[in-house]
Amino acid sequence: MSNKTKSSYAISKQLLNRLPLYLNYLKDFADREGYISAPLIANAMKLNEVQVRKDLAAVSSSGGKPKTGFAAGQLIRDIEKFLGYDNVNEAVIAGTGHLGSALLSYKGFDEYGLKILMGFDLKDELVGTSIAGKQVLHIDKLEDVCKRLKIHIGIITVPASFAQEVCDRMVAGGILAVWNFAPVHLTVPDHVVIQNENMAASLVVLSKHLAEKLEKKEEGI
Amino acid sequence: MSNKTKSSYAISKQLLNRLPLYLNYLKDFADREGYISAPLIANAMKLNEVQVRKDLAAVSSSGGKPKTGFAAGQLIRDIEKFLGYDNVNEAVIAGTGHLGSALLSYKGFDEYGLKILMGFDLKDELVGTSIAGKQVLHIDKLEDVCKRLKIHIGIITVPASFAQEVCDRMVAGGILAVWNFAPVHLTVPDHVVIQNENMAASLVVLSKHLAEKLEKKEEGI
DNA sequence: TAGATTGTTAATCGATTAACAATC
DNA sequence: TAGATTGTTAATCGATTAACAATC
């Protein structure tokens, strides 16, 4: 029997975006020996109570107890399991400029099951160095290394103009999932998944909201 | 007369996320003197044609011409205007570690109308230095500087454990919009907008998709 | 018990997609 | 003209929220 979700509640992208929020909250504020309820989380996150309840129901192994809620420690483990934080995924990163080296250095990814093994770049002054104890190899070795180590995840932090070419090399090396930080639309074969980390889009949402606020302020009242 | 949208097509978060994608595509591939059609963009981005058409109709000042499409140069300007890329928003950043300095150094934000003026940190070895020509001041000056310069946007790249406190200081300094890179839920008054740059969530979506791929591969056909 | 909370079914809401007339 | 594309109204789809019985 496979571990499919019991109910028909879909594993939507939205759900996958909310779960890490719950997890942060639980880890920071919940007494792991105690219980926590959906209304409590909903209130803290300013989300609808039913939504949180459904989300928790979808991932909780043991369910909650009426009147008391969910065992916090178990719930944390359940969410982590659901999110796959206990399976390690190995990744490589192409582009070791500011952003690339920030990602290479970031300790927090371990927690999410992401292990960035090494970086690739084409600049001679970077190749051969190491960042946060991880080697930087020449970009020409990218395809080969991915193949040999059977890496499935590639992270792209090269300038926009190189991104497609780097992406093609990753795909040629057997990469199945690409996390793209370059502000371009990448074309990949159907069997490859792309996740765009769209900072411009984030920024736009923020500045639009801000513009509204400022307008209201000007209008008075 | 205010520049509200003509139609009732809502300015959804989704729309705001798609527009930068169109913009990238247009800038990279469109002949600015020529014309571009919704079906063409839709095809390149693998989106529904009607959706693109509606999106373009919502932002285009002059509309498109049946059979020919939209004037590419004008469309680029319209999208940029709609997204507010021509209004400069000044921002400060708290936390000048790897990620913070990557953001401080990133040239691309200009294009989006974001101007990061300076950084703040509490580490003595960082305070007084400058990153990409931008000063790093002591975090204790954050509130004061925001007030004096009437900064509206604060970017948080401090460790999770400091994020709430830094956020509070920003709010006290009159910040109205917070771009939060720390993996915690921040509590702010109603008049402040938060945009969480949720890398963990992105990563989860990616690794879930990857897991599906790998499962299918194992099952064979 | 009374009351809080869970889990689930039904109603609502909003975004996407389909259908189609208008236009160049 | 014929055909591609626009703009818009209607239908569909999916996610969120409301309502409510079950439970401790």
H or E stretch covering B69: none
- Interface A–B counts its CB contacts (< 8 A) at 176
Residue of A nearest to B88 (CA): A207
Q: Is residue B12 within 8 angstroms of chain A, CB to CB?
A: no
A63 touches strand C (CB under 7 A): yes
Q: Mean pLDDT for chain B?
A: 91
Residue of A nearest to B85 (CA): A204
Predicted TM-score of the model (pTM): 0.91
Residue B30 has pLDDT above 70, yes or no: yes
Least confident range of A57-61, A114-118, B214-218: B214-218
Q: Residue B62: CA atoms inside 13 Å, Cβ hemisphere, count?
A: 14
Residue B58 has pLDDT above 70, yes or no: yes
Please give the nucleotide, over all strands, whose C1' is closest to the CA of residue B9. C15
Q: Which residues contact A59 (CB under 8 A, 6 or more apart)?
A: A19, A78, A79, A82
Question: Which domains are present in chain A?
Answer: 13-83 (1.10.10.10), 89-201 (3.40.50.720)
DSSP state, residue B64: P
What pLDDT does A7 receive? Answer: 43
Q: Are B202 and B208 in contact (CB under 8 A)?
A: no
pLDDT tens for each residue of B166-202: 999 999 999 999 999 999 989 999 899 999 998 888 9
Other beta carbons within 10 angstroms of residue B66's beta carbon come to 7
For the stretch B166-180, what's the b/e string if a residue is b when 16 or more beta carbons lie within 10 angstroms of its beta carbon? bbebbbebbbbbbbb
